[in-house]
Structure 1
Amino acid sequence: MGLLASLLERLPVSPAMFYLPVGYILGPAVSGLINFVPTEHALLLTTVAKIALLLSLFTVGLKLRMPFRDSIWRLPMRLGVLAMLVTIPLVAVVGLFLCDLPLGAAILLGAILAPTDPVLASDVQIKDIGDRDRIRFSLTGEGGLNDGTAFPFVMLGLALLGVPSAASFANAYTVPHVLWSIVVGLGGGWILGWLVGRLVIGLRRRFRLALGMEEFLGIGLIALAYGATELIHGIGFLAVFAAGLAMRRIESTNSGQRSADREDGEALDEAPGKGGEELATHPVKASAYMTETVLGFNQQLENFAEFLMVILTGILLSHIGFSAVGVVLALLLFFVIRPLSVAIALTGAKVTTLQRRLMAWFGIKGIGSIYYLAFALQYKWIAPAGYQAAALVPHVSSIVLTVVAMSIVMHGISATPLMEMYQRRRRRQNQG
């Protein structure tokens, strides 16, 4: 990748498209060098996928600089909540009638495939913090929100499959339980991100302490936000996303909105002195320096997370095999269900027809779906009458992995040319 990265950027080929066949070749279907059985290593796979997802969610939060009063926030909220609420039942219906799944497994399948991916969607996300492009901002925010908001529906599917620990998501207290988990996740993550960010900035400005080690600061805040909110039954994924938003909000408040249309790197260059310590303790630029160094480190980790998770996806697909109904479901999801859900979610929104179509197309599936699949495989499913649990698990796994693989290929090929076409049209409109 060190040799090929610059070449891949100029081609309609994403890094994930390069990793996926490598993983498949390493698996039992070709070379047999690695045989990773999902059900036997579900806990390990869940942990690895969770780490990758947390790194990405925090990074997404750090990228979103626009103040919450800005109307542009309505778009990711619509996509991350409303579009997902439409997608889950539609996929569940397909699961019931096309994939021959029981109700619990169909709902679980819908919840697994509903989230868009914050890792593999980097080509269509915002490139700098001042980017107000509606497509990039909406898809970035959606990827940060819906991995967390899908969790209650995953638990509902598991509850209907007889998993005891998920029973609280299928009783009379389900709605208050879900509301609590969402509010605590977002609120707890925001508070912890704000407190840690303010503490570090205060120590640096006043006492020249807490300098350096931004990599520990970012990872530590991720662990703190996730662990603390999970202890009080909040959704940790939402907490980590909110912690990233809070750290970015500290920066935007201190730096001022005057730099909203510029990259922080440009603002940092204006600070007196070029040394890291001078920037880290500067009265105005300290928060920008902290945020950008944490973001830079996390983006590097995100590259490794993408590499590892897509390689694992290829290995798992090599072990389980492709699913014919998974191919049909993927086509329905990409060309029917996703466009319909986006059309409903964006009703009345101020977006152009082209923007709406591109948002509908880039409903990329990836690490979030792999995580929730691995999470579900940790539990023993109880199949209803007429179904066999032993056959149900590989059937659902094969469908999910097939959809993810098709998304990696189809969206990977189309991302660069479609976004370049969109940017050309934007430039022509601005010039006109």
Structure 2
Amino acid sequence: MTGAVVYLVLGLSLLLATLLPHITRRVALSPPMVLVGVGLAIGLLPMADDVNLRPEDNHALITHVTEFTVLVSLMGVGLAIDRILDVRSWRSWRTWSPVWRLLLVAMPLTILGTMLLGWWVAGLAPAVALLLGAVLAPTDPVLASDVQVGEPLTEDVAEAEAETEDEEEVEEDDDIRFSLTAEAGLNDGLAFPFVHLALLLLAGGFGLADVGTWLGWYVVGKIAVGLVVGVGAGWLFGRQAFHARNEKLRLADAGEPLLALAALLTSYGAAELVGGYGFLAVFACAVRLRSSSRGHSYQRAMHGVVERLERLMTLLVLLVLGMAMTQGLLEHLDWRGVVVALALVLVVRPLAGYLSLAVLARDEDEEGGLDRGELAAVAFFGVRGIGSLFYLGYAASHEHLPDEPWLWSTVAFTIIVSVLLHGVTATPAMARLDARREREAGTG
């Protein structure tokens, strides 16, 4: 594929990606669905035969591209979340109740369920089955935009909305989207301990004495380091942007939104340098930066820059994913992979999510509480996405993986199933829930 053709295809695809959110807003068709279809069409062109898209031959490229895409997504998610998390307030922690339940209960259950499917249905070795579960554990609401929060609410936006909407109604509207968005922001990092455990098992020599090391360092230590670095970086960048003594250094007043990218790269690099989980650090940095001056319009400017970069990176990954499907990405898919993918999307995640949220559920009238319809929506819309490609690429770069071609085909098929199913159902489901919420607010 010549350079001129590449530029032409990318330019037209970027135009399509810009128009799609507006065109598909009211229909059951998500932009990711269309972009994968465009990738399929490009892959069928004769010129695409010159490009090697076999995952086994491109471990490093896949890992780095998807890694940066996930990082940009995490920064955007953290900057968009309006709900405050005050570590000194138990009430504040409780408003995040659905998120903690999804992370501490639903995610381990999903990993366990997928692992059992990989071992029992697909006949994988236990370590490979565990890796499959960990790879498919992270969720990614970016691929179903109707179930993620929108732009950050700043003072200028809040004043405009107050003229047409009840403030309480706007806050209520966020529960489902907040839960799914915050879950995705945190579980991209929390899946890492299980990926490392699978790699340690594959490397051999993992005994009972190593369990303590794994729990102490990979589960507790690296998570803590990542969070501390992220919060510290967010505090420093927030102080510099909003509260610097020298007005010339106060970037919030100057309106320079590239600070968000500087914070992303710095927090990730610092966390990885000292051994922490960089994904968690980026999300924590973004949340802390968001809280520095919550109502400032600069928050919206930073989110806008990150969102556009995120859209570009997602466009690239989805186009290549579609092209790879025509180049043999799914050639190793068999009935076992189909069963694993469908069971995960239709049974394992919805059941694990429902159990985590329904048992000893928080009162639906309180902030962070979900009624039955909202609970079902949160449980169902666990979208699989780009994070899964990163984790599999990361694992394949660090250890020889038995059944690697089958793993790539199965993970790719799972993402496609999720993009199609959740993309078709997200718009009508959320519209129905929003309409019901408006009716209840009108009669309340």
TM-score range, shorter chain: 0.7 to 0.9
| Maintained 8 Å contact 2:223/2:277 | yes
The equivalences for 1:26-425 within 5 A come to: 26-27=42-43, 32=49, 34-68=51-85, 69=89, 70=92, 71-129=94-152, 131-132=171-172, 133-162=174-203, 171-177=211-217, 178-203=219-244, 206-211=246-251, 212=254, 214-252=256-294, 255=295, 288-318=296-326, 319-321=328-330, 323=333, 324-346=335-357, 347-350=359-362, 351-381=370-400, 389=402, 392-425=403-436
- Asked if 1:430 corresponds to 2:430, the answer is no
1:28 Cα deviation after fit: 6.9
Q: 2 CA distance for matches of 1:400 and 1:340?
A: 20
Q: Which amino acid aligns with 1:209?
A: L
| 1:51-100 alpha-carbon deviations (Å, 9 max, x no partner) | 10000101111111222243321111211232101110110000001111
Equivalent residues of 2:330, 2:410 under 8 A apart: no
Within the alignment, does 1:18 sit opposite 2:37 as a pair?
Answer: no
Q: CA 1:136/1:341 → structure 2, altered by over 3 Å: closer, same or farther? A: same
**Structure 1: unaligned runs, 5 residues or longer:** 256-287, 383-388
Q: Give 3-state SS (helix, strand or coil) of 1:234's partner.
A: coil
For the residues of structure 2 that align with 1:229 and 1:357, how far apart are their CA atoms?
36
Deviation (angstroms), 1:163:
7.5
CA contact 2:20–2:31 (8 Å) conserved in 1: no
User: How many Å separate the matches in 2 of 1:169 and 1:248?
Assistant: 41
**Residues 16 and 408, structure 1, Cα contact 8 Å, conserved in 2:** yes
List structure 1 runs of 4+ shifted beyond 6 angstroms.
166-169
Aligned residue number for residue 267 of structure 1: none
Q: Distance in 1 between matches of 2:418 and 2:110?
A: 16
Q: Which amino acid aligns with 2:26?
A: R
Letter in 2 for 1:208: K
**Structure 2 counterpart of 1:52, one-letter code:** T
Q: CA, structure 1 residues 98+29, in 2 after alignment: closer, same or farther (shift >3 Å)?
A: farther
**CA-atom RMSD, angstroms?**
2.3
- How far the C-alpha of 1:308 sits from its partner, in A, is 0.9
SS at match of 1:308: helix
Quick check: 1:58–1:240 contact (8 Å CA) kept in 2?
A: yes
Question: Which letter maps to 2:380?
Answer: W
1:249-279: CA deviation from partner (whole Å, max 9, x where unpaired): 1123xx4xxxxxxxxxxxxxxxxxxxxxxxx
Distance 1:47 1:174 in 2: 25
Which amino acid is the alignment partner of residue 88 of structure 1? I
How many residues are treated as equivalent by the alignment?
388
Contact 2:381 2:422 in 1 (8 A): yes
Q: Which amino acid aligns with 2:256?
A: E
Unaligned ranges ≥5, structure 2: 1-15, 154-170, 363-369
Identity of paired residues, percent? 36
CA distance, structure 1, for counterparts of residue 96 and residue 274 of structure 2:
28
